[in-house]
Amino acid sequence: MARDFAAVAGPEFRFRHMLMELELPLTPMEALSVEAIPEGAEWQYEPKWDGFRCVVRREGDEVELQSKAGQPLARYFPELVEAVREVKARQFVLDGEIAIPSGDGAFSFDALLQRIHPAASRIKKLAAETPAILIVFDLLADADGKSLLAMTLAERRERLERFAKAHLSPKGSLRLSPASTQLAEARQWLAKAGATLDGIIAKRRDLAYMSGERTAMQKIKNYRSADCVVGGFRYSKNGQVVGSLLLGLYDEAGLLNHVGFTSSIPVKERPSLTTKLEALIHPPGFTGSAPGGPSRWNGGKANEWQPLKPKLVVEVMFDHATGGRFRHGTKLLRWRPDKTPKQCTMEQLETKGGELMKLLR
């Protein structure tokens, strides 16, 4: 009886009926970190965009944006809500990444972070000044209201490309992410855009959309290294030995700016390193931007740091840099006594941003 009623009911009811399994929050597919690009005809490759993962659900004028953690994002990106409403298709579910283009043709993660603000007036201002785009890489329900979760990625990609051709613009707010089955092209993405791209994603073309699982998707980072001045350090939680090194790079004005940290110090080396560092304690440590001090938000005294004379240089491995800082913690590779501190400049973090936007054209 229910099936008969759905068959004769209006399109809105049928859409809701078919999207019961796609009601938000919907846990997106996750990716397993691997060191090498997987090879084989069953793999599809895509750029790994450095933004906010977002599932978009539209039913008529109702638009929902959901983060990877299941939180609503619509209030932070009103320009994307309007862009979704402007699509001719009245019903669909998309999986993608929210990003904010910067002036150099790359993307600004710092601009994204500024959007998570409680003041609606502030969000409205930023939406006008630095509008976001949604880079779409999967179609979970099509314009007919049909769930595609059970289809293989190869089938979903074909339908996504048809959807994009009919409804998305290469220069609009909603853009199709490129994809390829060619390993050579995946390697080119990783090498050419690796300075600003977060890496690449490999997905199994022969599997369905596996919500919340990591078996059908892998991510490969493009790691780089930089020589940095040790401008300070923090003690470990027990306060006895060094816990992390604070890293700095010199800008064109000759100021040493804090750019990140590394805590991957071998345990057996920490006592002797602590003695060495304590002999170099001397303010200011950093002459440009400096690490934040203790506060009720960052753990109080445990977050205090000791300034050092700019004498020591280390080489660290990092996966991504934005806004003149390492996005994540780094891995200590080696000490560089052969390098002078003044050789450690911000130029090491410079990127060719224009390569990223070209991938969307």
Map out the domains of the chain as residue ranges.
Answer: 2-220, 224-349
Prediction pTM value: 0.74
- Contact by Cβ (8 Å): 208, 150: yes
Residue type, 357: M
- Contact by Cβ (8 Å): 28, 95: yes
pLDDT of residue 16: 42
Residue type, 100: I
Place of tokens 């203790």: 294
Whole-number Cα distances in Å, 147 to 17, 87, 94, 288, 298: 10, 19, 11, 53, 43
Interval 157-201: pLDDT, tens: 999 999 999 999 888 999 999 999 999 999 988 886 555 577 899
Cα–Cα dist 165/160, whole Å? 9
pLDDT of residue 7: 38
Averaged pLDDT, 152-156: 98
Interval 213-271: pLDDT, tens: 888 999 998 778 899 999 999 999 888 899 999 999 999 999 999 999 999 999 999 99
Interval 84-123: pLDDT, tens: 999 999 999 999 999 999 877 788 888 998 999 889 999 9
Other beta carbons within 10 Å of 157: 20
pLDDT of residue 355: 64
Question: pLDDT category, 323, cuts 50, 70, 90?
Answer: confident
User: Does position 350 have pLDDT exceeding 90, yes or no?
Assistant: no
CATH class of the structural domain 2-220: alpha beta
Cβ-Cβ contacts under 8 Å for 30 (sequence gap 6 or more): 212, 213, 214, 217
Question: pLDDT category, 354, cuts 50, 70, 90?
Answer: low
Cβ-Cβ contacts under 8 Å for 213 (sequence gap 6 or more): 29, 30
pLDDT of residue 327: 85
3-state secondary structure at position 113:
helix
Averaged pLDDT, 306-310: 97
pLDDT of residue 107: 86
Q: 242-250 and 224-235 as β-strands: parallel, antiparallel, unpaired?
A: antiparallel
User: Does position 8 have pLDDT exceeding 70, yes or no?
Assistant: no
Place of tokens 């220069």: 171
pLDDT of residue 360: 82
Higher pLDDT, 8 or 277: 277
Place of tokens 């030995």: 241
CATH, domain range 224-349: 2.40.50.140
Higher pLDDT, 208 or 24: 208
Please list the active-site residues. 48
Question: pLDDT category, 303, cuts 50, 70, 90?
Answer: low
Averaged pLDDT, 282-310: 76
Higher pLDDT, 74 or 338: 74
Strands (E), 84-160: 91-99, 133-141
Interval 24-75: pLDDT, tens: 788 899 999 888 999 999 999 999 998 899 999 999 999 999 998 889 999 9
User: Does position 4 have pLDDT exceeding 70, yes or no?
Assistant: no
